[in-house]
Amino acid sequence: MKTNQEFKNEALAALHGNWGKAVVATLLVIIFAAICQGPSSVMSAMNQEQMQSLAQYGDTAGIMTLYGSMLRVSGAAFLLMVFFFHPVVLGYENAMVGLLYREEREITPNMFHIAFSNYWHKVGGMVWMYILVALWSLLFVIPGLIKAFSYAMTPYILHENPELSITEAIHRSRMMMRGHKFDLFWLYLSFIGWILLAIMTAGIGFLWLTPYMETAQAAFYNEVKADYAVRGGLD
């Protein structure tokens, strides 16, 4: 297994001369996240005080109306996340693989092309992956985290292996990550200093840190994929 520094060096080499394009793609992902989640979060915060006021006056009809509005906005946000944001994130992650190993420098066009090709298969795969993680999280936080690492390669597999079913793609991620879950956790942990620094810049630093981390993760994916092949792709 390569070291974290080797993954980071590969990421920096790929991003050299491509930082501007990577930052633009990252900014778009952040904007899309804000569009999908922002209205629901803002409405929820604004309605808390109004809800308390209605409860004091015993205005049950007003409370129900407010709840209905909140549910509609939350439902719309959920649908946007499922059918737009999650595929875009999958596209973003795989675009970094393309940059790293195929020198595909048009990151944003690649991101959208990947996101919306073989679309329903990818949406279904991402939804099922999140459902599984959520179900494991109901047991306790730690099982949920372990499964999140176990399924972390699913977005790459869904794109690179469209012939696999959704369950087969998730299963392959589990097999790839067997013995490597802590390696991925350790890779994430190695960025903690940069994460703290990005927070200190009011979050602006994440425009550069996110592509750095995602490209390092793409290098990690290539490594565990190669290890899986050496093991004969055995289940």
74-116: pLDDT as tens digits: 777 888 899 999 999 999 999 999 999 888 899 999 999 999 9
Domain residue ranges of the chain, discontinuous segments joined by +: 4-36+81-230
Nearest to 66 by CA among 78, 51, 56: 51
Greater model confidence, 138 or 184: 184
Three-class secondary structure assignment of 214-235: HHHHHHHHHHHHHHHHHCCCCC
Q: Which residue has the higher pLDDT, 77 or 230?
A: 230
pTM summary value = 0.88
E strand intervals along the chain: none
Mean pLDDT of the chain, nearest integer: 88
CB 63 within 8 A of CB 57: no
* Model pLDDT for residues 129-175, shown as the tens digit of each residue: 999 999 998 888 888 899 999 999 999 999 999 999 999 999 999 99
- Give the Å distances, CA to CA, from 197 to 150, 153, 208: 28, 27, 11
Count the Cβ atoms, other than its own, within 10 Å of residue 116: 14
The residue among 206 and 53 whose pLDDT is bigger is 206
CA atoms of 79 and 121, how far apart (whole Å): 16
Residue 37 pLDDT > 90 = no
